[in-house]
Structure 1
Amino acid sequence: MESSNNGSWSKYDKLAGLLAVGLFAGYFVQPIEAIIVAVVSPLLSPLAVWLPFSLFIVALAGTTGLYTAILQTKLRDNERMERLQAKMKTLQERVQTARNEGDEGELNELRSEQQELMQSQLKMMKESVRPMVWSLLITAPAFIWLRWVFTSPAAAVTPVAFFFPVIGQIAWTATVVGPLQVWLVWYIGASISSGYVSRKIAQQAL
């Protein structure tokens, strides 16, 4: 997972990308889902039984969030991206000034600079996909396993319902709105709330 300075992907990045595509297919292809579940279950099922399930989901979301935050910190050059954005903003202001003054010579030079900056931005955008690809290697199997737990009668890992303050007992598979069920809303909420903390931890640790 070494950092790439020229925007190109290493062979490991490409391999991770292919694997990520295969894992993502597990959302839609049942045989792939079955393979993922068979690999992940020995790791997650004991924890799901040992911890209160609502806490287990929070821990799972927090762990995957921290892993993603660490990858973003290591593989994404945020400072370089900010410098490019600042240069692009300054360049746009210079272009506007040259247009107002009718300076065609200056405009031609600035257009050349714009093209170079746009090429650099495209490379940075390509690099920014790398953390997402590597994070999918963990987040996709975890989420697919969690979905399987709630949709497969054979799972028998989680309780049917849990106690929620004010509301009381509520089924994990109860519909909140549209296709969103309670377990998915709980997982998304845990991911969002832990995401900020995870990024802070990753930035301080690295």
Structure 2
Amino acid sequence: MESQNGGSWSKYDKLAGLLAVALFTGYFVQPIEAAIVAVVSPLLSPLAVWLPFSLFVFALAGTTGLYTAILQTKLRDTERMERLQEKMKTLQENVKTARNEGDEDELDGLRQEQQELMQSQLKMMKSSVRPMVWSLLVTAPAFIWLRWALTSPAAAITPVAFFFPVIGQIAWTATIVGPLQVWLVWYIGASISSGYVSRKIVQRVA
């Protein structure tokens, strides 16, 4: 997964990108969704039956969140990006000072340095997409399977409803707002909370 330099993608990155795009089409193309479900079901279906389903959804979101956090730590050079941003801020202040003093020679040098720094930032931005591409290889199949398990009558492995504090019994597929259903809100909430904790843990360990 490692690139040879910070601004380019290796052949493995590009292959992962193509596969991620193919998996993403599973959200819209039924045959691809069916293929993903066929591959993922032997792993997830037994867990969905064995665990309380609300806990299973939370664990699934937490696992994908941990995987994404590890990838971000391994593939994203956060320290270098922060150094570039700090250097750009300093350059902008120097440009402002040189402009106020009317020092054209200094301005020309600073503008050249800005252009070079912007090129470095663009390379870093391109590189920062890599963790998202690799994470999609796990998060996309997991989400597609979960959607299928909850919305497909053929699945028949998930409970129809669950008990939510204060509200009481509520169907997993009940609509909250617009296209947002209960299961999706639960999954997103679990992803955000577990993802935050995972990033803190990975950063501390790293």
State TM-score, norm by structure 1. Answer: 0.98
Secondary structure in 1 matching 2:129: helix
How many angstroms apart in 1 are the aligned matches of 2:28 and 2:96?
49
- 1:22 paired residue number: 22
8 Å Cα contact 1:65/1:198 also seen in 2 = yes
CA-based RMSD of the aligned residues comes to 0.8
Deviation of 1:6 (Å): 3.8
Report the TM-score, using the length of structure 2 for normalisation: 0.98
Show the counterpart of 2:193: 193
Partner of 2:61: 61
Instruction: Please name the residue that 1:109 is paired with.
Output: 109
Residue aligning to 2:87:
87
State the Cα distance separating 1:4 from its structure 2 match: 3.9
SS at match of 1:43: helix
Aligned to 2:90, the other structure's residue is in SS state helix
Corresponding residue for residue 13 of structure 1: 13
**Pair 1:141 & 2:141 matched:** yes
Give the aligned residue type for 2:110: L
Q: Is the 8 A contact 1:4 1:127 kept in 2?
A: no
SS in 2 for 1:157: coil
How big is the shift at 1:3? Answer: 4.2
Distance in 2, Cα, partners of 1:168 & 1:100: 65
Of 94-103 and 3-12, deviating more is 3-12
Q: Could you tell me which residue of structure 1 aligns to residue 33 of structure 2?
A: 33
CA distance in 1, matches of 2:6, 2:162: 50
Q: What are the ranges of 5 or more consecutive residues in structure 2 without an aligned counterpart?
A: none
What secondary structure sits across from 2:170 in the alignment?
A: strand
The amino acid across from 1:18 in the alignment is L
Q: CA deviation at 1:5?
A: 2.5
Instruction: String of CA shifts for 1:65-108, please: whole Å, max 9, x gaps.
Output: 00000000000000000000000000000111111111111111
Whole-angstrom CA distance in 2 between matches of 1:133 and 1:58: 22
Moved beyond 4 Å, runs of 4+: none
Match in the other structure for 1:202: 202
Identity %: 88
What is the correspondence of 1:39-58 to structure 2 with a 5 Å cutoff? 39-58=39-58
Residues in 1 aligned to 2:70 and 2:205: alpha-carbon distance in whole angstroms: 9
Structure 1 CA distance for aligned equivalents of residues 203 and 102 of structure 2: 46
1:149-164 matched pairs, under 5 angstroms? 149-164=149-164
Q: CA deviation at 1:151?
A: 1.5
1:121 corresponds in structure 2 to 121
Q: Which amino acid aligns with 2:68?
A: T
> What SS class does the counterpart of residue 106 from structure 1 fall into?
helix
Matches of 1:197 and 1:15 in 2, distance apart? 30
Partner of 2:131: 131
